[in-house]
Structure 1
Amino acid sequence: MRRTDPEGHGPVRFAPPAPEPGLPVLPELASALAAAAGRGPTEVPGGSAALREAASGYWERRGLTADAAHTVAAPGAAPLLLALTAALAGDVLLPRPCPAWWAPAARLVGRRTYSVPTPAECGGVPDPYALLETVRRVRDEGGRPRVVLLSVADDPTATVPPPEVLHETVEAALGEGLHIVSDETWRDTVHDPHDTVLISPAEMAPGRVTVIADLAGGFLPGDWPAAVGRFAATAEGTELRARTLDALTGLGAVVAAPVAAAAVHALAEPDGVTARRAATVALYARVADAAYRLVRSAGAFARPPQAGRHLYVDLEPLRSGLARYGVGDAMELEDHLTRRLGLPVPGGHRFGDDLGALRARLTLAPLLGATATEQLASLAASEPLELPHVRRALSMFGSALDELRDTARRMEPPR
């Protein structure tokens, strides 16, 4: 059994911060929020008609048929998943690693969770063969697997599952009668949309998939909590939405009216919002690639980042160097890198990964600049990697990794 309260570390009670945009709030979103700050009517559980219509339009533009009657809104993806999991009876299967808030949401409503390894080429989805084996084992032990969670643009691994891999996983899940919940929070942050094909499981199996998306992924700041869910336009989907809405109502999980107004504006995707998102994605693509190359040059592992604002690294090749600093597992790695880099670096154990593995998620936002002026300069620059503050931040990042590589080499026995 994987340790969650290892001796000498203390309990793991807090989740790591979500990757921040690292940029000032878009002025037109701030204006939309401020204009609604004095509004009298409050939002209702599940979201107002305006918010649900905006969510429907967002999905329609991405090829997913949706109408307001089959959508809901919640104050963040975690309460939405909590309500959805409460509405779905049965055990929950998760890819390993997975977003840090998935498992707690299931456990809070008494659902057992089971981790399934991901394929070698990507994160975000369970390996289809490992999924089938896990389902068999859970049933043999008396469990009732019912739900599989997956992500088409993954936090923490920053990868996008290839269509053929996603198709095999979806087929395996449907063949075992599992309901698929697709977290598409980061789908609009794909670094190279021309060479990276992103497909939603809802396109493959419209009647068997529920889609959720936290608007912090591509639209709103993380501290303006809002998320939307899309349910299948079937009798089962209608019933599932009703049960989810009941749970949201019981939780009092209502989007704040000013945040809802900003969400409606953002989901309509006016030119200003679309331009800022495109520029942000392009900036992170450049910075993520630079950070990835520094990780590889230091002798560590990482999958090439394809989406999001972070990088998932495996420092196993540097284990001997890390041991010099008293680092032997992911919790100790988290403590060491957080101190060394001066920013939160959650270990892989927070994402359901093996405690003994030396993996961690590196957030890239600090590389954009320490002030709003520097961050906006990074956003506007044609060559952001040439800016002094970005070069300096990347140099410090690379130096920390090179230090571990050099220490590891010194620890190697002579040949």
Structure 2
Amino acid sequence: MQQTAPEGQAHGRGPVPFGPPGAAPGLPVLPELAARLAAAAAHAEPEPVGGGARTLDAACGYWSRRGLWTDPFHVAAAPGAEPLLLALLAATGGDVLLSRPCAAWYAPQPRLLGRQAYHVPTPAECGGVPDPFALLETVRRVREEGGDPRVLLLSVADDPTGTVAPPELLHEVCEAALGEGLLIVSDETYRDTVHDPAATVLLSPAEMHPQDVVVLADLGAALVPPGWPAAVARFPGTWRGAELRAATLDALAALRALLTPPVAAAAAHALAEPETVAARAAAATRVHAALAAALHATVTGAGAVARPPQAGSHLYADLDPLRPALAALGVTDSVELEDDLTARLGVPVPGGHRFGDAPDALRVRLSTGMLLGASEEERLAALTAPDPLELPHVRAALRLFGSALAERDGARR
């Protein structure tokens, strides 16, 4: 389970331990991945900047199976999505446009480079992709104020909302962004965690505009354990894409952001998606889907509002309908709400201010990880159970969460 902020830090204002891939406790490590990592532990030579041949070839195969052909000269790997995005933004220059809300780790990246990050509201049906008309208005306003917007960072399978952008909206947003000369960076970390692929269509912007989109994926969401930082990026198959990759590798070299040989070996094996890895990823998606649906039912049953989750292990809840009861408890903004629910539940419950929302909005991101269990045995049971909601420890965790909301709604269950 993720740790809360160290003692003595200002609550809600310290380091953000809620970055990618974002699940709280991880599921047990797949034995064959652990074996690959252990077998490479004696390798003394570092991996090349941007990843070795085996990792890059495996990444090419991974994307080709998803209809995004590429070659090793347009792929890069790094120890996690954060340094990879930081290097990419250093290579692009200019300011960055983000959806509101967005992943907690997005906005700090351009700010570390002395750039500006501008949030754009999302439409009612999903998060992760901004409203196209609001995007155009934001670009116009930023340029009038002397800014230099160059990058749109979006996520089609979104953290924190757990929603998937419909193809028609994605098309409109991409057309608007490209019409303004923006480079699109598509964070597809959660693309392999769609709860019901038969009912939810996930389209990558790179399928529509392969010459203008960089695809980014942190492998810790679906393929490797969260504690083994590994991420890959796919650049456009053009001279511009090759130049952007080269500049990104220069930045990675300056940061010395290299995959370690053990993690590289495990990541390459996972990216090849042998049957056991694919089966584990599918099982993890099934359990997170069941738990996310249960969280959604509990949240909406208590009178709060949340979009139905479609991917990943998150749910973004708006507790504004409970504002009078929360105010009676001294909770008036998302910082106080984060403190209140984190203390009540014993797990981190990050407030909406972490994700770009205004602090006075009573929003929080909930993770299915808080229902998986405290021990490896409980988490393995959740992974393998025909119905994880029937497990005693899962039912107990759901009851605790439901009672916390009920008390804040002024009701008793």
* Same fold by TM-score greater than 0.5: yes
Q: In the superposition, relative to structure 1, how do residues 9 and 323 fare at CA in structure 2: closer, same or farther (>3 Å)?
A: farther
Displacement of 1:21 after TM fit?
5.6
Find the counterpart in structure 1 of residue 233 from structure 2: 229
Instruction: Check whether the contact 1:16–1:346 (CA below 8 A) recurs between aligned residues.
Output: no
CA distance in 1, matches of 2:377, 2:227: 21
Which runs of 4 or more aligned residues in structure 1 lie more than 4 Å from their structure 2 counterparts after TM superposition?
8-11
Displacement of 1:150 after TM fit?
0.2
How many pairs are equivalent? 401
Instruction: Check whether the contact 1:74–1:227 (CA below 8 A) recurs between aligned residues.
Output: yes
Find the counterpart in structure 2 of residue 202 from structure 1: 206
Instruction: Check whether the contact 1:91–1:146 (CA below 8 A) recurs between aligned residues.
Output: yes
1:258-269 correspondence to structure 2 within 5 Å = 258-269=262-273
1:59-78 correspondence to structure 2 within 5 Å = 59-78=63-82
User: Could you tell me the TM-score, scaled by structure 2's length?
Assistant: 0.95
CA distance in 1, matches of 2:367, 2:35: 28
Find the counterpart in structure 2 of residue 137 from structure 1: 141
Displacement of 1:13 after TM fit?
3.2
Displacement of 1:148 after TM fit?
0.4
Displacement of 1:89 after TM fit?
1.6
Q: Deviations over 1:337-371 (max 9, x none)?
A: 10011100010101111111000111111212221
Instruction: Check whether the contact 1:138–1:144 (CA below 8 A) recurs between aligned residues.
Output: yes
CA distance in 1, matches of 2:14, 2:406: 32
Residue of 315, 318, 331 corresponding to 2:319: 315
CA distance in 1, matches of 2:62, 2:394: 34
Displacement of 1:22 after TM fit?
3.3
CA distance in 2, matches of 1:199, 1:223: 28
Find the counterpart in structure 2 of residue 4 from structure 1: none
Find the counterpart in structure 2 of residue 15 from structure 1: 16
Instruction: Check whether the contact 1:301–1:314 (CA below 8 A) recurs between aligned residues.
Output: yes
Tell me the amino acid that sits aligned with residue 160 of structure 1: V
Find the counterpart in structure 1 of residue 150 from structure 2: 146
Instruction: Check whether the contact 2:12–2:339 (CA below 8 A) recurs between aligned residues.
Output: no
Instruction: Check whether the contact 2:352–2:362 (CA below 8 A) recurs between aligned residues.
Output: yes
Tell me the amino acid that sits aligned with residue 393 of structure 1: A
Find the counterpart in structure 2 of residue 124 from structure 1: 128
Identity of aligned pairs, percent? 64
CA distance in 1, matches of 2:145, 2:29: 50
Displacement of 1:9 after TM fit?
6.0
Q: Deviations over 1:361-394 (max 9, x none)?
A: 1111121222111111111111211111111111
Find the counterpart in structure 2 of residue 247 from structure 1: 251
Find the counterpart in structure 1 of residue 352 from structure 2: 348
SS of residue paired to 2:409: helix
Is 1:391 equivalent to 2:395 in the alignment?
A: yes
CA distance in 2, matches of 1:9, 1:67: 46
SS of residue paired to 2:99: strand
SS of residue paired to 2:221: coil
Is 1:48 equivalent to 2:52 in the alignment?
A: yes
SS of residue paired to 1:102: coil
CA distance in 2, matches of 1:233, 1:23: 36
Select between 378-387 and 300-309 the one with higher mean Cα deviation: 378-387
CA distance in 2, matches of 1:31, 1:311: 33
CA distance in 1, matches of 2:96, 2:388: 42
1:371-410 correspondence to structure 2 within 5 Å = 371-406=375-410
Instruction: Check whether the contact 1:125–1:161 (CA below 8 A) recurs between aligned residues.
Output: yes
Tell me the amino acid that sits aligned with residue 391 of structure 1: R
Displacement of 1:231 after TM fit?
0.3
Find the counterpart in structure 2 of residue 286 from structure 1: 290
Find the counterpart in structure 1 of residue 4 from structure 2: none
Displacement of 1:121 after TM fit?
0.5
Displacement of 1:404 after TM fit?
1.2
CA distance in 2, matches of 1:11, 1:386: 34
SS of residue paired to 2:217: strand
Instruction: Check whether the contact 1:182–1:210 (CA below 8 A) recurs between aligned residues.
Output: yes
CA distance in 2, matches of 1:338, 1:366: 11
Q: Deviations over 1:271-313 (max 9, x none)?
A: 1110011011011111110110000000000000011111110
Instruction: Check whether the contact 1:20–1:309 (CA below 8 A) recurs between aligned residues.
Output: no
Residue of 34, 37, 40 corresponding to 1:33: 37
Find the counterpart in structure 2 of residue 5 from structure 1: none
Q: Deviations over 1:201-238 (max 9, x none)?
A: 00010000001100111111111111000000111111
Tell me the amino acid that sits aligned with residue 117 of structure 1: P
SS of residue paired to 1:362: strand
User: Could you tell me the TM-score, scaled by structure 1's length?
Assistant: 0.95
CA distance in 2, matches of 1:266, 1:86: 29
SS of residue paired to 1:216: helix
Instruction: Check whether the contact 1:22–1:366 (CA below 8 A) recurs between aligned residues.
Output: no
Find the counterpart in structure 2 of residue 339 from structure 1: 343
CA distance in 1, matches of 2:387, 2:111: 46
Structure 1: 5+ residue runs without aligned partners? 1-7, 410-415
Select between 276-285 and 20-29 the one with higher mean Cα deviation: 20-29
Find the counterpart in structure 2 of residue 175 from structure 1: 179
CA distance in 1, matches of 2:47, 2:41: 12
CA RMSD of aligned residues (A): 1.4
Instruction: Check whether the contact 1:183–1:211 (CA below 8 A) recurs between aligned residues.
Output: yes
Find the counterpart in structure 2 of residue 270 from structure 1: 274
Structure 2: 5+ residue runs without aligned partners? 1-8
Instruction: Check whether the contact 1:94–1:113 (CA below 8 A) recurs between aligned residues.
Output: yes
Is 1:216 equivalent to 2:220 in the alignment?
A: yes
Instruction: Check whether the contact 1:20–1:222 (CA below 8 A) recurs between aligned residues.
Output: no
Tell me the amino acid that sits aligned with residue 13 of structure 1: G
Tell me the amino acid that sits aligned with residue 125 of structure 2: E
Tell me the amino acid that sits aligned with residue 324 of structure 1: A
